[in-house]
Amino acid sequence: MKNYPSLNQPSECNTYADIDAVYKCLKEQYEVKDEQLILYGQSVGSGPTVDLASHTPNLRAVVLHGPILSGLRVLYPLKHTHWFDIYKNVEKISLVNCPVLVIHVSCLLFNFLILPFPNLLSFLPFSRSPQLNSYNL
């Protein structure tokens, strides 16, 4: 790939542009079909992954490893999404219509912040995936 927008200016929007650029490359240069693609996103990377999966109808599967519900929900147990929140996975996961595997651990240590797994498990009620599996490691 010649250019990833987030290398020049890191932002939520540019990470979406990055994953879209990789997806476009796979489709156009390598002729990969959606049915052959398994998307993987870990932690903050679950944001661009869920976004792409939410508007790509025929994916083989999605794997979310320690996903976040949203940027603010990492820090606060919010019940509603605010307009200024980022990576609103909690709202987009219901639009994913392929099998989803959620991998989580009992807690994640991230920059001295411990995230208990119930935050991650909150994905389950929001997903409309025909097959959503969750494993605790």
Render pLDDT for 79-135 as a digit per residue (tens, 0 to 9): 899 999 999 999 999 999 999 988 876 554 444 444 444 444 555 555 555 555 554
pLDDT in tens, 48-72: 999 999 999 999 999 998 899 999 9
Quick count: other Cβ atoms within 10 Å of Cβ 73? 20
With 0-12 / 13-18 / 19 or more C-beta atoms within 10 angstroms meaning exposed / middle / buried, residue 71 is middle
Rg (CA), the chain: 15
Class of domain 38-136: alpha beta
pTM of the full structure? 0.78
Location of structure tokens 């794997």: 63
pLDDT in tens, 5-56: 666 788 999 999 999 999 999 999 999 999 999 999 999 999 999 999 999 9
Whether the CA torsion 65, 70, 73, 74 is positive or negative: it is positive
